[in-house]
Amino acid sequence: MSQKAKSRTHVNCTINGDEVDFLTTDSTSLLDALRDEVGLTGAKEGCGTGDCGACSILVDGRLNCSCLMLAPEAEGTEITTVEGLAEGDHLHPLQQTFLEGAALQCGVCTPGFLIAAKALLDENPDPTETEIRYGLAGNLCRCTGYDKIIRSVQEAAVQLKGA
Ligand code: FES
Ligand code: FES
């Protein structure tokens, strides 16, 4: 193995409110680094090519596919993964409404939907159904048929407005 192939890059960033340091390589995806180096396995790899949204995270408040980012690009950023949505034992309203609304089956897509829905509601707290469908258009689900997901996001929006 060449020296270059062995070299490791140090990354410092904030993940779910905590300062985190990890070592990675220049060719490692942020998704793989989060899962393998940081131990946060909530973000999933569905496609690895930016098509399914299962790997969605927030980077500096913006929705990103972590499979399309290289890990060193996380340097100095603030990242939110699905593990950062709950506050202690209290689920985020989106997590609660997904559970109550049976908006998941196999669950592979769910972390990505939760993060994408949070990004949507952070920007637009009172979305129409069409806006929710457009907002979640980058996330694919093979199990639920989407309607339960949409209803759960609508209910979470109502709860967040009332909070
Ligand atoms: S795994 Fe990243 S978009 Fe599918
Ligand atoms: S619940 Fe299985 S892919 Fe969405």
Q: Which ligand is nearest to the CA of 144?
A: 2
Strands 9-15 and 78-80: parallel
* 114 shares its domain with 46: no
Nearest CA to 61 out of 6, 1, 150, 121 is that of 121
pLDDT confidence of residue 24: 97
- Residue 1 pLDDT > 60: no
38: domain CATH number?
A: 3.10.20.30
Give buried/exposed letters for 93-116 (b at 16+ CB in 10 A, else e): bbbbbbeebebbeeebbbbbbbbb
Q: Rounded to the nearest whole angstrom, what is the distance from the C-alpha of residue 5 to the centroid of ligand 1?
A: 25
**Residue 6: count of CB within 10 angstroms of its CB:** 8
Confidence of residue 162 (pLDDT cuts 50, 70, 90): confident
Q: Choose one of 56, 99, 141 to mutate for the ligand 2 pocket test, by most ligand atoms within 8 angstroms of C-beta.
A: 141
Which whole number is the average pLDDT over 36-65? 98
CB 59 within 8 Å of CB 74: yes
Predicted model pTM: 0.95
Position 3 pLDDT exceeds 80: no
CATH number of the domain at 139, please: 1.10.150.120
* Domain end point (choices 64, 84, 104): 84
Kindly report, residue by residue over 5-50, the tens digit of the pLDDT: 568 999 999 999 999 999 999 999 999 999 999 999 999 999 999 9
Q: Which domain holds residue 38?
A: 3-84
Task: Mark out the alpha helices in the chain (DSSP H runs).
Answer: 3-6, 30-32, 93-100, 110-123, 129-135, 147-162
For atom 3 of ligand 1, the residue with the nearest CA is 50
- 52 C-beta closer than 6 A to ligand 1: yes
Ranking 2-11, 49-58, 59-68, 78-87 by mean pLDDT, the lowest is: 2-11
Residue 65: is its pLDDT beyond 60?
yes
Tell me which ligand sits closest to the C-alpha of residue 47: 1
My answer on whether 71 and 42 are in the same domain is yes
